[in-house]
Amino acid sequence: MQTIDDAARALAAGTTTSTQLVEEALSRVLDPSGEGGRAFVAVQAEAARAAAGAMDSLRRANRAPSPYAGIPISIKDLFDQAGVTTTAGSIARKDATPANTTATAIARLERAGFVVLGRTNMVEFAFSGTGLNPHYDTPRSPYDRATGRVPGGSSSGAAVAVADGMGFGAIGSDTGGSCRVPAALCGITGYKPTASRVPLTGAFPLSTTLDSIGPLAPSVACCATLDAVMAGAEDATPPVAAPLEGLRLGLPSATYLFDGLAQPVIAAFDIALRRLEAAGAKLIDVALPEIAEIPAANATGGFAAAESWALHRELIGRARDRYDPLILARIERGASMTAADFITLMAERARIIAAIAPRTAHFDAIIAPTCPLTPPAIAELAAADDFNRINMLLLRNTAVGNFLDRCSISLPCQAEDEAPVGLMLTGEHGGDTRLLAVARAVEGVLRAK
């Protein structure tokens, strides 16, 4: 996987063009022997070629809008594009009116010159961490394609597109782990910013309380650049890696974040910790007892069930038979939540956030496995009970960052040719730039030979 910086340097040096980069990416997307047919629900080849030609012309005239002008990326199927119907991974919205305007985050990327290749597959309405989609098929994790393993979700196609070189990054959303889980299960990097950092305007919602928009990409620097552009930063240059010596990483090993880990996860994560310590980082046990209180706070359904039910109840009334039954059941759980339940949930969230904040304030990041599992076989999720059990496990660790409204990132930490394992770093609310600097330092250790 080449990085965004690799592409930007090649474009600046004149050793490649946007047209070449786009054609190379499209060749992978459209390869009938590859995963493009499952990773994308819509390939916008002609529009991408036209945009690439325009960026090449602007670059020749020294008028490129940014160093990244002409670099191809993809966007999740829940982002509005002017003139395009946003189906959000569902067939229930196929007849919806096309969007009038493009989502703010995507429009900012396009103004910087990034070229959108098309719309990537996703879990229907983003309501699962597995990556399964019965309407558009399920893209396979790059690990053990012969078996056919889940890519993680809900930004499933985004992760597979990046892993298979179909562009230099992908834009997803993360409500309970939907950028980080597929990144972990596909062996790439996925970033969830503080929720308010990137505008949600034009992104089809799952939970307006928890939703955030984030990138999936080959590296931390790629994620930092895409995040900065979407956040409206004047300078999209990635932050410099933090010094490793003395870096304070909090290890909440007494929480459920470390319960029931699969053996490959334990092995890869332990090796990563030893390498970080050898490089000078300090791993310090941190007590976060309030994490154990989050499941009880969510017991009546949580924000996603309540807020998705409010959004979907009218459409369900008209097109119930078009919904994936597994997703429909999750949405309809919100029907039984009362106003009092929701008010109590908001109060509990505020209390837990306030209690944990001083416990983590003195750390550079909190470190834990992204997911307790490596990619399960798609066949393992055939029964509803198995789907629900595995889905909850995949989202268990990542959902904590959304509940606490923190920035969080998943980095691949497995050895080459082993099952993908994600290492998750979680920062403070609003501490995005610092977390990305820390993540660059950690990434350097994990990638060192």
Strand partners, 424: 368, 410
The 8-class DSSP code of residue 442 comes to H
Q: With contact defined as beta carbons under 8 Å apart, do 43 and 122 qualify?
A: no
Give yes or no: 128 in active site: no
Which residue is catalytic, options 18, 74, 76, 128?
A: 76
| Dist. CA 79–CA 51, nearest whole Å | 19
**Quick count: other Cβ atoms within 10 Å of Cβ 300?**
18
**Active site annotation includes 178:** yes
410 noted as active-site residue: no
Q: Which of 128, 141, 154, 408 is catalytic?
A: 154
119 bridge partner residues: 42, 75
C-alpha 89/C-alpha 42 separation (Å) is 11
**Cβ–Cβ < 8 Å for 169, 224:** no
In Å, what is the CA distance from 448 to each residue of 229, 435, 445? 28, 20, 5
CB 172 within 8 A of CB 214: yes
Residue 6 region by backbone torsions, left for phi larger than 0, else alpha for psi between -120 and 50, else beta? alpha
CA-based end-to-end distance of the chain: 17
Among residues 74, 173, 178, 308, the one annotated as catalytic is 178
Catalytic residues: 76, 154, 178
